[in-house]
Amino acid sequence: MTQIFSRISGTGRCLPERILTNRELEKIVDTTDEWIRARTGIERRHIAADDQTTADLAEGAARQAMEAAGVAPSEIDFLVVGTTTPDVVFPNVGCLLQERLGIGGFAAFSVEAACSGFIYALSIADRFIAGGQAKRALVIGAETLSRITDWTDRSTAVIFGDGAGAVVLEPSTEAGIISTHLGADGHYKDLLYHPYGTSRRQQPDDVEGPFIHMKGNEVFKVAVKTLEGIVDETMSANDLERGSIDWLIPHQANLRIIQLTAKRLGMSMEKVILTLQDHGNTSAASVPMALDVAVRDGRVRRGDLLLLEAFGGGFTWGSALIRY
């Protein structure tokens, strides 16, 4: 019996029209363009319009990915979205997309794993296709983080942005997604979090606002160590040597973290896909958007070996080794 693998047949992305530059942020919060660039590498980010939702961005990315794959919505039979900023508690963003695309009757759901959400979602979809339970899957990472960002908090206001990225997965006799590796550790829950939800609501005497809270220095230290571990795990699991990866496509959170990860892989920064300067940290959307940028500008080509990795609040982390 021939083994079934999944491969990426199309990519897409969607960004809000509004761009917020570092210079504009200087007028909102106590910061400077130089400080932001030095600490993060970010120059600008996209911000959703008041009437624009996560599902809106996800739909735009999904349609672009399907067009690139030459797949009609009616051919999709699995849909999973990584997001921490859904339109509503339920229906989930996957179900909302089904309705918009005029399809249904198959599994559609959201995965809440913060910045690692797309990698988690990709791993799930890969297993459904490899197991013969799905033929064509839409995998999306989409966020409207501006809705939960405190624009008076310098530690977070300079970092986050909105956007969505998507891929279409299809069956293949050759390995496309070679391996995925996921992890989490809730002991670090107080380093990066949003304090309120539906079962834990803000009380009048609460001092925490309904925004993202982050202890940046501590997050940086854990992220570097954890990403080193997931990189080593991925390389070891596939008997790969340093320098064997064609492209590193990392979560776009912080330039210094990305540089250290590339060093661990023995890669020059010329082989790293960087979009954080233009997008900021878009959480679950950052990896698929970076992939789409690199595919469309011709850097990533068929047959290239890619390493995707992400680290996010929870903490969660994940990687995917992919033969594009």
Catalytic residues: 115, 251, 281
Letter string b/e over residues 157-185, b meaning 16 or more CB atoms within 10 A of that residue's CB: bbbbbbbbbbbbbbbbeeebbbebbbbbe
61, 89 contact by CB (below 8 A): no
CB atoms within 10 A of CB 144: 30
Query: Is-cis flag, bond preceding 315, omega within 30?
Result: yes
CA distance 298 to 278: 18
46, 279 contact by CB (below 8 A): yes
Q: CA separation (Å) from 131 to 6, 77, 103, 125, 172?
A: 10, 14, 22, 10, 12
151, 145 contact by CB (below 8 A): no
Question: What tokens were used for 209?
Answer: 């606002």
